[in-house]
Amino acid sequence: MSQETTPPNHLGDDEHLGVLGYEGSFNRSMSLWANFALGFTYLSPLVGVYSLFALALSVGGPPSIWWIVIVGAGQLLVSLVFGEVVSQYPIHGGIYPWARRLWGRRYAWMAAWVYIWAMIVTITAVSEYGSGFLASLLGIEITPMSTLLLTLGLLVLALVFNFSGTKTLARVAQIGLAAELVGVIGVGLYLLIFQRKQEFSVFFDTMGVEGDGSYAAAFLGAALAGLFLFYGFEACGDVAEEVANPARRIPKAMIMTILVGGVSALFSFGGYVLAAPDLASIVAGDDMDPIPGILEATLGPVGAKVFLVVAVTAFISCVLSLQAAASRLLYSFARDGMIPGHRWLSKVSPRSKVPTNALIVACTIPVILAVLIYFEATLLTAVTSFAVLGIYVAFQMVVLAALRQRLKGWKPAGPFSLGGLGLIVNIVALAYGVFAMILLATPGTSGTFFTDWILLIGLGVVVVSGLLYLFIARPDRKSDAPAGDAIAVADEIRARTGAVAAVNAPTAG
């Protein structure tokens, strides 16, 4: 980072990194806008709304849109906690180094283990769903083989882009951001203004989804409409060492991701509801893929085709951002010697300045999962069921660790600070997270054991396997990287920042 862009009252990027025990190995070519684009395309309101629109309406009716507001507010609190943490620890890997520095090695191992599998499964799922859009755009019949080939194509294309370096990642993420904004806000506003077939009061009309029971149960059942949508903002911190002035910019990028993503999702979801020609059939569950019909009826064949181009662009960018975030987490894990093959995984390309080996893993495992799904299609539901819950568990492990440090006297020392509100925000964010996890983990009521308990089964498999490796291989004993040092690092940063401010202060007289 150049001296001209270093704030006079804070440490330079390399000096800050040095305080944390690392040397710079990456090009800091990512701007605030590009960092926001990375988080936004990972969060991807277009993908989230399309995936859960029909399910949310059939379970909770039109009022399920309010889950976007509820979850958005809760995750905004989480992003504020993360903002203070990343401002003190602007290092690669996000969840893993945050948990490590706030609590300890074994705690961080479990947080990262759960999170990396959730991310890898999400990469697979998004690629699988994106293949359907790509098939429609290219006029290819959707079959198991075509789905597999197109899924692999999306994964490899994203890998090629990621191999090209941080600048390419940033450019594609910004293109994906533009596509997302057109696809969700642009189309949503058009539907709201010109194609409205329902009254706005419909968002307070349950349309009978509760049957003879209480609507509260139906509304809680539709929570996934919001819970599935609002993660991805933490990816802004996964690439911290490739961002100029990350201690200031990444917290802003995470908050922007939540706010813009939430508004985009509201416009998109609301536009589809108000423009639906036959809303009753969607709510009744008779039309489980209603968005293509809504677009065909409102935009016409040409407009619907244009939307497909926008959607495919958004999916490519989403897969790209997911791979990038997963690779940086793997790199951070490996740099501290915490996983098998850590020397190979922690290598950075001298040409492109990206962790190419970690990227290969972030592409290869989803490829294997896609092949398994080809042979057994029902695996897609099984392997993705625990993803959202796993991500929320990893998030809340960081929120809990931050609260623990605050109660021990930690005062975050990065340039982004909530001041006296930090403790209150941290407590409310943890309470929200526990509430969200309870909603996600509550078993279903279909009467089929595997279907009803798949979320907890999937999470249990990941947690048990992680614990077994942790206590058998003891990776925490093989790593001497710093851990549990939040208070000490905060003191060191304040001391050095004070020295920098003293040097830069104008001479009296």
Taking the complete model, does pTM exceed 0.85, yes or no?
Answer: yes
* HSE (side-chain half, CA atoms, 13 Å) at 385: 22
Rounded to whole angstroms, the Cα distance separating 404 from 402 reads 5
Percent of the chain with pLDDT over 70: 95
Q: Please give the mean pLDDT across all residues of the chain.
A: 87
Average pLDDT rounded to a whole number, residues 330-358: 86
Other CB atoms within a 10 A radius of the CB of residue 110 amount to 18
Q: In Å, what is the CA distance from 327 to each residue of 340, 345, 424?
A: 15, 9, 33
Q: In Å, what is the CA distance from 138 to each residue of 134, 151, 176, 226, 334?
A: 6, 14, 19, 31, 40
**Residues 163, 124, 150, CA angle at the centre, nearest 5°?**
75
Of 312, 319, 323, which is closest to residue 180 (Cα–Cα)? Answer: 312
Rounded to whole angstroms, the Cα distance separating 381 from 385 reads 6
Average pLDDT rounded to a whole number, residues 98-103: 95
Contact call for residues 42 and 232 (beta carbons, < 8 A): yes
404 vs 9, more confident: 404
Average pLDDT rounded to a whole number, residues 164-185: 84
What secondary structure letter does DSSP report for 182?
I
- Give the CA diameter of the chain: 81
Tokens read off for 54: 């029909």
Residue partners of 447: CB distance under 8 A and separation at least 6? none
Tokens read off for 336: 């501290």
Contact call for residues 358 and 331 (beta carbons, < 8 A): yes
What digits encode the pLDDT tens for the residues 14-73? 889 888 888 877 778 888 988 898 888 888 888 888 878 888 999 899 999 999 999 999
Contact call for residues 266 and 40 (beta carbons, < 8 A): no
Of 228, 263, 255, which is closest to residue 122 (Cα–Cα)? Answer: 228
DSSP 23-40: ---S---B-HHHHHHHHH
Dihedral pair phi/psi, residue 212, rounded to 5°: -95, 0
Contact call for residues 68 and 225 (beta carbons, < 8 A): yes
Rounded to whole angstroms, the Cα distance separating 178 from 317 reads 10
What digits encode the pLDDT tens for the residues 62-98? 999 999 999 999 999 999 999 999 999 999 888 989 9
Average pLDDT rounded to a whole number, residues 365-373: 93
What's residue 380's pLDDT? Answer: 76
Residue bearing tokens 């951070």: 332
Of 150, 122, 158, which is closest to residue 134 (Cα–Cα)? Answer: 150
Residue 181 in this model has a pLDDT that exceeds 90: no
Checking 286-293 for CB contacts under 8 A at 24+ apart, the result is 287/54, 288/54, 288/58, 289/54, 290/53, 290/54, 291/50, 291/53, 291/54, 292/136
H/E run at residue 280:
helix 279-283
Q: In Å, what is the CA distance from 217 to each residue of 71, 271, 275, 443?
A: 17, 25, 27, 13
Average pLDDT rounded to a whole number, residues 467-474: 90
Pick the most confident of 343-347, 363-367, 436-440.
363-367
Sort residue 484 into left (φ over 0), alpha (ψ -120 to 50) or beta.
Answer: left
* HSE (side-chain half, CA atoms, 13 Å) at 98: 33
What's residue 61's pLDDT? Answer: 94
Of 432, 239, 206, which is closest to residue 322 (Cα–Cα)? Answer: 239
Which burial class, exposed, middle or buried, applies to 18 when counting CB atoms under 10 A from its CB (0-12, 13-18, 19+)? middle
Sort residue 447 into left (φ over 0), alpha (ψ -120 to 50) or beta.
Answer: left
Contact call for residues 25 and 268 (beta carbons, < 8 A): no
Q: Which domains does the chain have, with CATH numbers?
A: 31-488 (1.20.1740.10)
pLDDT-derived band at 3, boundaries 50, 70, 90: very low
Pick the most confident of 294-303, 411-420, 476-485.
411-420
Of 218, 180, 196, which is closest to residue 66 (Cα–Cα)? Answer: 218
What's residue 436's pLDDT? Answer: 92
What's residue 500's pLDDT? Answer: 59
Contact call for residues 258 and 233 (beta carbons, < 8 A): yes
Rounded to whole angstroms, the Cα distance separating 346 from 455 reads 32
pLDDT-derived band at 148, boundaries 50, 70, 90: very high
Of 200, 205, 258, which is closest to residue 432 (Cα–Cα)? Answer: 258
Contact call for residues 353 and 25 (beta carbons, < 8 A): yes
Q: What is the three-class DSSP state of 196?
A: coil
What's residue 459's pLDDT? Answer: 87
Other CB atoms within a 10 A radius of the CB of residue 204 amount to 10
30 strand-pairing partners: 243
